Amino acid sequence: MLKINNLSVNYGGIKAVRDISFEVPDGEIVTLIGANGAGKSTTLRAIAGLVKTAGGEILWNDRNIRGEKVQDIVSKGITLVPEGRRVFPNLSVLENLKVGAYLRKDDLTEDLSMVYDLFPRLKERSWQLSGTLSGGEQQMLAVGRALMSRPKLMMMDEPSLGLAPLVVKDIFSIIREINKQGVTILLVEQNANMALHTANIGYVLETGRVTLKGSGQELLDNEAVRKAYLGETRQ
Amino acid sequence: MDWSVVLPYILSGISVGGQYALIAIGYTMVYGILRLINFAHGDVFMVAGLMMIYFSASMPMYYSIPLMIIFTVLLGYAIERAAYKPLRTAPRMSIMISAIGVSYLLENLALYVTGGLNQNYPGIPWISDSITIGGAVTKRVTIITPILTIVLVVALILLIKHTKFGMAMRAVSRDFDTAQLMGIDIDKVISVTFIIGSFLAAIGSLLYFTNYTGVVPTSGAMPGLKAFVAAVFGGIGSIPGAVVGAFIIGICENLIKGLDSVLMVNGIISQQFGFATFSDAFTFVLLIVILIFKPTGLFGEKQTDKV
């Protein structure tokens, strides 16, 4: 279980994340929603070890991992699917998947076929340079690549960004599928509607603070959330 | 057309081209990973030459050559650790200035140690021996250089294309953050890049200085610059590009050096025009032309900046 206590992150004098606390219980799908600049991505990048934190605790199974190197955090089973896919365009699809398993020394055949079962499109394009894939395919590759490390917790930063609505639906059903296989999911989304329908637990972030917490359904029914993030017309 | 006049120039062009290639790879690999022009690289090459002189003065060749290579590699590694690693998140201009600083530091240390005097480069047994090819007398190094260069380049490309570590290098060259998220230790990848570059520069210096009488503190500047032009010509960041660029520059340069005598022997001109003077100028004119008309070089990536 991941537990964040009073985490703060500063970006050159600006407090991007202030004293936020939340929990991600094992086996759940947890989502952080909020507007642009609320500190969602920064929170994920701080957990992954990519940005320096200013204070607080990041507890992974009751051990504080704040300040550890990125590769040590990855080796503990925490992975991040970064915003904007960030597949390696100069590597083939297969190489991208293999590089996802960089820290593993065992056989990858089983994991590769698992990823290819989940995303048959990737199998067809296995030898293609991943820079030539479509946005949706790149997102699938980014998820597949993260799965190759056999994560216990998969953090996803805006997986729906810039994708066609049908592809977004696919991605979210795959997120649920991955979760059913036992991977805990921490999801950051601007598409609050989709995220809250998928998640068991949701947190609302505003200018670096957690302002609301509840189950996905509770937040969907919350008047304030509806006004701010779902658009009133939906009623 | 009498080819026997042209042949020696082509041969030495291929040889010099191979030596430039070995230096150029160091520039292009470091650029590929760090987006940094490592200005100190030519000076590492010069220091390798000096170390060879001092080592061979006190011990036999089979010790001094490996020792020279090991210390050159350590020097390249230490430069990265001390002068570039602390600036990893600094603006790119800061690392570049740091590189210029290291370059001057090495030149001045060399000046201090040698007293500015020309140090005689030792004759390396076997590779300095004279041989005759198609009527042209040359040193054996002329033939060894291109062969050794091609072997090393093929080995390097295999390493980059077909090993797990090579895959990590390619990943790091595109995206530091995401490479870290895969569990790749980027500091290690960067160190190895400098180690490979310095190793090849050490080999290159051994082959290059064999053709010269000695080493002075500025001996690294010209071959370093030319190798840099070769890397830009081939498309900086691309290893095959650097090699092709280096061979083209090496051959053209030497053909220009021989232009006078070739034209005279063939009766096209009746007096010396002194074309040889322009052999260095050619390289830099080439640089200007590339930067104007094809800044990405022969095999360069279309888009060099990370999005």
Encode pLDDT of B203-247 as tens digits.
999 999 998 889 999 999 999 999 999 999 999 999 999 999 999
> Is the minimum CB–CB distance between B305 and chain A shorter than 8 Å?
no
Nearest to A171 by CA among A158, A180, A183: A158
Pick from A48, A74, A90: CB nearest B170: A90
Residue B35 DSSP class: -
Global pTM exceeds 0.90 = yes
State mean pLDDT over A1-16: 90
Helix axes A93-100, A135-147, angle to 10 degrees: 30
Encode pLDDT of A64-121 as tens digits.
999 999 999 999 999 999 999 999 999 999 999 999 999 999 999 999 999 999 999 9
Instruction: Tell which wins on pLDDT, A14 or A63.
Output: A63
Instruction: Tell which wins on pLDDT, A172 or B135.
Output: A172
Q: How buried is B6 (Cβ within 10 angstroms: 0-12 exposed, 13-18 middle, 19+ buried)?
A: buried
Encode pLDDT of B23-41 as tens digits.
999 999 999 999 999 999 9
- The ipTM, to two decimals, is 0.92
Pick from A50, A95, A149: CB nearest B180: A50
Residue of B nearest to A145 (CA): B182
Pick from A86, A88, A149: CB nearest B183: A149
| pLDDT, position B302 | 62
| pLDDT, position A234 | 46
Nearest to A138 by CA among A90, A81, A83, A85: A85
Q: In angstroms, rounded to a whole number, what is the distance separating the alpha carbons of residues A222 and A23?
A: 20
Count of C-beta atoms within a 10 Å radius of residue B45:
30
Kindly determine whether residue A71 and residue B180, on different chains, have CB atoms separated by under 8 Å: yes
Nearest to A216 by CA among A189, A181, A235, A177: A189
Nearest to B44 by CA among B76, B67, B22: B76
Encode pLDDT of A129-167 as tens digits.
999 999 999 999 999 999 999 999 999 999 999 899 999
Encode pLDDT of B81-105 as tens digits.
999 999 998 999 999 999 999 999 9
State mean pLDDT over B243-261: 93
Residue B305 has pLDDT above 70, yes or no: no
Count of C-beta atoms within a 10 Å radius of residue A43:
30
Instruction: Tell which wins on pLDDT, A82 or B3.
Output: A82
Structure tokens at B144: 């060894």
Residue A187 DSSP class: E
Structure tokens at A42: 């920064």
State mean pLDDT over B165-181: 96
Encode pLDDT of A14-48 as tens digits.
888 989 999 999 999 999 998 887 889 999 999 99
Residue of B nearest to A148 (CA): B182
| pLDDT, position B261 | 84
Domain A2-234 has CATH 3.50.50.60: no
